[in-house]
């Protein structure tokens, strides 16, 4: 039997008793669906990339916009959501003493509802009746059953979220005066953000359903777009908060370090929860009918999210330097050599952190009115999105999978699989470098997003995009190799890896750390503050969109 990958300290992996088999089964089921969706989404992404580069002609029965819609739904909605929910349910189980029986039932009910929703959504896309991309807002209209599927999806998510809230409330009742464990605190913040952030898009879907069935003739397009982006903007940061939780809680333990500051980590959660939903209008920065003052408020809120990101960068690199110096690092940057670059559990999230530097900078550019005029609806936006989701989120999730799956299955990450994981991480990162880099550059040259390959009648400008689109295809090819490796590794860790005990890494605070303030636990206050800020940002413009509604639009089908 191969040896377990050694802890960076050189110490043995801690034996952890009490992995609840029923709770583990829930998380592993969510993860199974997540990585199936991940693989299928990546296959569709490869077809899309090859077609966009002019290297592949799709068959008549499978058009580019079907592929694009399926790619977006599978990765943006299914993979990200099922992984996040499975991971945080495991976090609640581990840190709060197990899931309550009724919470476990709610998780299974939520899972069943989500599966039903995905079946509706996927079927309509496959049948060619829902090529509306993952944004799906009017005036383009899918089959009404596509939107019915979205309702099931939301109801399933809400069932899991409320189960989490019940588990946290029960723990707090039994542990009065104590701080919620940090990982459970991150999970609570992400669940709060997910629930309140999804209210707007739920209202939008309920508006669209009668319109799609033909029961109403027209729909308010501006209101629909606004309700969608109140969720679309928030969803990205829900994934980010999920990734960040592993950076703060697991990564320091894996490298042999300690948490820099429990108080700082909780403040990051509070800021992200309070300020996140307000910011959706920066996706509508060139839309008419919204006043400059309202747009400026949302841009300010969007930019304010940079502060917790900078706090996280400071905290994580401080942990890296402190850990390296405790291991004898000398000189200004000697600590870098002491980091466990050969351990995929560290390498994957580390590249995710580094990738978020240009990803965050690109996001700031897109919230600026003048710069947004240059890149809006160009391939630049797609490149930015692939940096945030494809690098920061995906690699963080993969890093979690490398230790959480063997922990739940009572198996171990062997040196052989660890090495394969390092290869997978490098291949995936190179693929994203080629693809996202090409998307950013060709976007600056004017190539539009969301269009299949065309030379626009052999226009010289369009022909000038072709060399960059070839790099996009190269990146997509590398990414599918990385996706296949990751799916194989997940399967191995679930069913084939040697039996053994794997630690659930929870970082401890520094010995001289200050006490965490009690006010961090006042969730009622933070939720009330969030609702107040959301009301400031959305009530006036939404009332104006309803009272002074523009002419409604009938449904359009452009495919």
Q: pLDDT, tens digit, for every residue of 451-499?
A: 888 899 999 999 999 999 999 999 999 999 999 999 999 999 999 999 9
What does residue 177 show for φ and ψ, rounded to 5 degrees?
85, -10
Q: What's the pLDDT score for residue 18?
A: 57
Q: What's the pLDDT score for residue 115?
A: 96
Closest CA to 55 of 469, 441, 479: 469
The per-residue pLDDT for range 379-415, each reduced to its tens digit, is 999 999 999 999 999 999 999 999 999 999 999 999 9
CA–CA gap between residue 364 and residue 444 (Å, rounded): 16
Instruction: Indicate whether 554 belongs to any domain.
Output: no
Structure tokens at 539: 């009530």
Instruction: Indicate whether 559 belongs to any domain.
Output: no
The per-residue pLDDT for range 93-139, each reduced to its tens digit, is 999 999 999 999 999 999 999 999 999 999 999 999 999 988 898 99
Instruction: Indicate whether 2 belongs to any domain.
Output: no
Structure tokens at 555: 């449904």
CA–CA gap between residue 362 and residue 378 (Å, rounded): 13
Indicate yes or no: pTM above 0.75. Answer: yes
Structure tokens at 60: 């008549």
CA–CA gap between residue 458 and residue 463 (Å, rounded): 6
Percent of the chain surpassing pLDDT 90? 78
Residues shown for the chain: 559
Asked if 230 contacts 541 with a C-beta cutoff of 8 angstroms, the reply is: no
Instruction: Indicate whether 57 belongs to any domain.
Output: yes
What does residue 14 show for φ and ψ, rounded to 5 degrees?
-65, 140
DSSP H helical segments within 327-368, as ranges?
A: 344-367
Number of folded domains that form the chain: 1
Instruction: Indicate whether 52 belongs to any domain.
Output: yes
Domain that holds residue 501: 19-509+517-548
Q: What's the pLDDT score for residue 376?
A: 87
Structure tokens at 460: 């010289």
Instruction: Indicate whether 556 belongs to any domain.
Output: no
CATH code, 255: 1.20.210.10
SS3 133: coil
List, in sequence order, every beta strand (DSSP E) within 289-366.
none
Instruction: Indicate whether 269 belongs to any domain.
Output: yes
The per-residue pLDDT for range 215-253, each reduced to its tens digit, is 999 999 999 999 999 998 899 889 999 999 999 999 999
Instruction: Indicate whether 223 belongs to any domain.
Output: yes
Q: How far is CA 300 from CA 107, 279, 293, 297, 351, in A?
A: 37, 8, 11, 5, 28
pLDDT of 159 above 90 = yes
């Amino acid at each position: 039997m191969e040896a377990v990958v050694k802890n960076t300290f050189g110490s043995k992996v801690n034996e952890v008793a009490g992995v609840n088999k029923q709770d583990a089964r829930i998380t592993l089921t969510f993860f199974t669906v997540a990585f199936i969706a991940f693989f299928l989404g990546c296959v569709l992404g490869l077809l899309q990339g090859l077609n966009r580069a002019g290297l592949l002609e799709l068959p008549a029965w499978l058009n580019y916009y079907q592929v694009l819609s399926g790619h977006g739904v599978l990765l943006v909605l299914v993979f990200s959501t099922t992984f996040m929910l499975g991971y945080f349910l495991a976090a609640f189980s581990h840190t709060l003493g197990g899931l309550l029986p009724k919470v476990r039932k709610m998780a299974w009910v939520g899972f069943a509802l989500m599966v039903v929703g995905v079946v509706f959504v996927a079927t309509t896309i496959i049948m060619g009746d829902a090529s509306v991309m993952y944004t799906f807002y009017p005036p383009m209209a899918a089959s009404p059953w596509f939107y019915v599927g979205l309702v099931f999806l939301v109801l399933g998510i809400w069932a899991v979220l409320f189960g989490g809230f019940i588990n946290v409330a029960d723990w707090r009742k039994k542990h009065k005066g104590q701080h919620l464990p940090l990982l459970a605190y991150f999970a609570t913040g992400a669940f709060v953000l997910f629930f309140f952030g999804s209210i707007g898009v739920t209202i939008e879907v309920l508006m669209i359903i009668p319109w799609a069935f033909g029961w109403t003739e027209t729909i308010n397009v501006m209101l629909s777009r606004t309700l969608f982006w109140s969720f679309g903007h928030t969803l990205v940061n829900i994934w980010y908060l999920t990734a960040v939780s592993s950076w703060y809680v697991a990564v320091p333990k894996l490298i042999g370090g300690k948490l820099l500051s429990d108080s700082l980590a909780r403040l990051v959660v509070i800021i992200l929860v309070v300020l996140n939903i307000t910011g959706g209008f920066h996706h509508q920065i060139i839309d008419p009918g919204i006043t400059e003052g309202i747009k400026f408020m949302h841009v300010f809120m969007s930019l304010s999210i940079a502060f917790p990101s900078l706090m996280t960068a400071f905290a994580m690199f401080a942990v890296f330097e402190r850990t390296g110096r405790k291991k004898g690092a000398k000189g200004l940057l000697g600590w870098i050599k002491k980091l466990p670059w050969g351990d995929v559990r560290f390498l994957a999230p580390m590249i995710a952190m580094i990738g978020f530097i240009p990803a965050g900078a690109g996001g700031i550019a897109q919230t600026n009115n003048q710069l947004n005029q240059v890149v809006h609806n160009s391939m630049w936006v797609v490149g930015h999105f692939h940096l945030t989701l494809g690098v920061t989120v995906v690699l963080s999730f993969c890093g979690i999978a490398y230790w959480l799956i063997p922990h739940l299955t009572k198996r171990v990450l062997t040196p052989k699989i660890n090495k394969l994981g390092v290869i997978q991480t490098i291949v995936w990162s190179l693929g994203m470098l080629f693809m996202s880099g090409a998307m950013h550059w060709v976007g600056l040259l004017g190539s539009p997003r969301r269009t299949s390959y065309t030379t626009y009648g052999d226009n010289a400008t369009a022909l000038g995009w072709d060399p960059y689109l070839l790099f996009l295809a190269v990146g997509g090819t590398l990414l599918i190799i990385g996706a296949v490796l990751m799916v194989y590794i997940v399967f191995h860790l679930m069913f084939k890896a040697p039996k053994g005990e794997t630690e659930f890494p929870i970082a401890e605070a520094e010995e001289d750390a200050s006490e965490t303030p009690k006010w961090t636990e006042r969730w009622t206050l933070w939720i009330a503050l969030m609702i107040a800020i959301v009301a400031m940002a959305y009530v006036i413009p939404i009332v104006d969109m309803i009272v002074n509604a523009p002419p409604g639009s009938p449904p359009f089908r452009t495919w």
